[in-house]
Amino acid sequence: MIKELIISMRPKQWYKNLIIFICIIFSQNLLNLSMWSGTISAFIIFCMLSGSDYIINDIIDSKRDRIHPKKCKRPIARGNLNKNFAFAFALILIALSLSWSYSINTQFFIASLTFFILHIVYSFILKHIILADVITISIHFVIRAIAGCLAIGALISPWLIICTFLMALFLALGKRRHELVLLGQDAKKHREPLEEYSTSMLDQMITTTTSALIISYTLYTFLADNIYMMVTVPLAVYGLFRYMLLIHTKNFGGETEMIFKDKGMLTCLALWLALVLLILYSKSITI
């Protein structure tokens, strides 16, 4: 039963909460050990909230998941995990995580509560509305990024908000395209908005979002205090184009974590992060 609960919490998806660490990196507090406890606590809290949200979502979508070639293997969809037991566990997890978030500070608690409520509204209503579904997913990522700042009391940059939103929207649109191609005529049975989406429409949206994201990130680097951040732009562009290539040639998108299995993406991400850290912290490191 414990194993089935852990599977239902989808720990493989918790990497999405790593965006909480973006704030401590770009606020140049990475070497400030006193702020690490707040950031790590925020990460664990959002993993707990995400896990409980996934359980509730699986309970709601159990019938739809049974017709999906991959989601049909989830414990609740297969009938291996009792819905009532799973729901009770999710409620306990929510209570613990929100109590912990309140102990950090009130603003972080509000962000955590907003994240949870929005996810519930998404599960019941918004995910059934075309465009509102992908926009809500993007807002979830923005809340994660903001929560990372609130947990350590750092300034919330507008560039962090817009770039996070566009990046999440880019990934969400890629996921919808993947679902549309994978499910074919059964797409509507799994998710109603898929009937109104089309691959050509999603391709146009992905192109528009990619352009907006490149412009936004480029403007951030040009206006940043450290002008050398501009050096990271080519790597960011390569990463986006590489992901688009994988969506079209290898049908990536359904599971975003697949990018960690692509050598090109891994190399790009590693180089981008190393370059960002070198540029932001070169003056802070004494030899």
Check which CATH number belongs to the domain holding 124 and give it.
1.10.357.140
The answer as to whether 220 is a domain residue is: no
Domain that holds residue 13: 1-156
58-62, 73-77, 263-267 — which one is most confidently predicted on average?
263-267
Choose the weakest-confidence range: 2-11, 236-245, 247-256.
247-256
The answer as to whether 177 is a domain residue is: no
User: What's the rounded mean pLDDT across residues 123-141?
Assistant: 91
pLDDT at 285: 46
Q: What is the mean pLDDT of the chain?
A: 88
Counted domains in the chain: 1
CA dihedral sign, ordered 242, 17, 87, 194 = negative
The answer as to whether 190 is a domain residue is: no
The answer as to whether 33 is a domain residue is: yes
- pLDDT of 253 strictly over 60: no
- Cβ(154)–Cβ(24) below 8 Å: yes
How far apart CA 228 and CA 286 sit, in angstroms, is 19
Helix segments in 153-232, DSSP class H:
158-183, 187-190, 199-223
- pLDDT of 254 strictly over 60: no
- Cβ(222)–Cβ(230) below 8 Å: yes
The answer as to whether 99 is a domain residue is: yes
The answer as to whether 173 is a domain residue is: no
User: What's the rounded mean pLDDT across residues 244-250?
Assistant: 83
Residue 287 binned pLDDT confidence (cut-offs 50, 70, 90): very low
Nearest to 194 by CA among 175, 170, 216: 175
pLDDT at 66: 75
pLDDT at 80: 81
The answer as to whether 165 is a domain residue is: no
The answer as to whether 175 is a domain residue is: no
- pLDDT of 284 strictly over 60: no
Q: Would you say the pTM of this structure is higher than 0.85?
A: yes
User: What's the rounded mean pLDDT across residues 196-205?
Assistant: 90
